[in-house]
C-alpha cells in the first residue's frame, strides 16, 4: 500500500534499491537466465546446461563452486522470472517447518527477465521430453549416502539407477563438469562386497 516492497529477499538476479520501492535487474545474471531458457528451448536438458556452464566458466549466483542441474531446474520452475511473487507462510509442526503459499501470487511484483510465452513454452518443452515412469518398486536406500567420496577430487558420490540392476556411484563433480574430474563410475553391486 505504501509502495514499499514486502521484503528485501528476492531472486539472485535482482536486488532491492536504496528506497526499497523497486527491484533492479543485474544485467549479467539476467543474461544467464535468458541463456538457460534459450538452451532449454533448443532441446538441452538441465544436466547438459549445468555441465556447459561449468566448462565455460560461467560464474554461479551464490557460493556454490559450480552449476548443478537442480539449480537450473529451480530457475526454470521459478515464476519470478516472469515477475510473479508468491507470498509464503511457515507452518511449524513438532517434527519440521513447512513453507506454504499465503494468498494468490502477485503479478508484476518483480521486473520480468523472461517473456511469459518463453517461460510457458520452456515448461511445455520440458514436459514433452519427460519419459513416463513405470511402476515404482520397493524404496531403495543408498548405503553410502554422505559417506562415499571421489578418490580423484573428493567430490560426493551420487547413486544413479539405470534400471535392470544397473546402478552406479558417480562423482557429482565429474557429472557436472567441475574440477576437471575424470572419475569413472563404480558399479554399486561391486561396492557392497
The pLDDT tens digits of the residues spanning 16-41 come to: 888 878 899 999 999 999 999 999 99
Q: Is residue 138 predicted with pLDDT exceeding 60?
A: no
Q: Residue 119: CB partners within 8 Å, gap ≥ 6?
A: 37, 79, 81, 82
Q: How far apart are alpha carbons 149 and 136 in whole angstroms? A: 28
Give residue 134's pLDDT.
46
Q: Is residue 186 predicted with pLDDT exceeding 50?
A: yes
Q: Are strands 14-16 and 23-25 parallel, antiparallel or unpaired?
A: antiparallel
Q: Is residue 141 predicted with pLDDT exceeding 70?
A: no
Write out the E strands in 86-153. Answer: 88-92, 97-101
- pLDDT tens digits for 79-130? 999 999 988 899 988 888 888 989 999 899 899 999 999 999 999 988 876 6
Residue 81 grid cell: 522470472
Write out the E strands in the chain. Answer: 14-16, 23-25, 88-92, 97-101, 157-161, 167-171, 186-187
Amino acid at each position: 500500500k505504501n509502495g514499499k516492497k514486502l521484503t528485501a529477499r528476492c531472486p539472485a538476479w535482482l536486488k532491492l534499491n536504496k528506497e526499497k520501492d523497486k527491484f533492479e535487474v543485474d544485467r549479467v545474471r539476467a543474461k544467464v537466465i535468458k541463456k538457460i531458457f534459450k538452451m532449454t528451448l533448443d532441446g538441452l536438458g538441465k544436466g547438459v546446461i549445468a555441465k556447459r556452464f561449468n566448462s565455460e566458466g560461467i560464474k554461479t549466483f551464490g557460493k556454490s563452486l559450480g552449476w548443478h542441474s537442480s539449480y537450473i531446474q529451480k530457475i526454470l520452475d521459478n515464476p519470478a522470472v516472469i515477475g510473479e511473487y508468491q507470498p509464503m507462510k511457515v507452518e511449524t509442526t513438532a517434527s519440521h517447518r513447512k513453507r506454504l503459499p499465503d494468498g494468490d501470487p502477485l503479478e508484476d511484483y518483480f521486473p520480468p527477465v523472461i517473456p511469459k510465452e518463453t517461460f510457458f513454452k520452456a515448461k511445455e518443452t520440458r514436459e514433452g521430453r519427460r519419459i513416463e515412469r513405470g511402476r515404482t518398486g520397493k524404496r531403495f536406500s543408498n548405503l553410502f549416502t554422505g559417506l562415499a567420496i571421489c578418490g580423484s577430487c573428493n567430490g560426493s558420490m551420487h547413486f544413479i539407477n539405470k534400471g535392470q540392476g544397473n546402478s552406479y556411484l558417480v562423482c557429482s563433480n565429474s557429472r557436472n563438469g567441475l574440477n576437471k574430474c575424470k572419475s569413472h563410475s563404480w558399479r554399486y553391486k561391486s561396492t557392497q562386497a
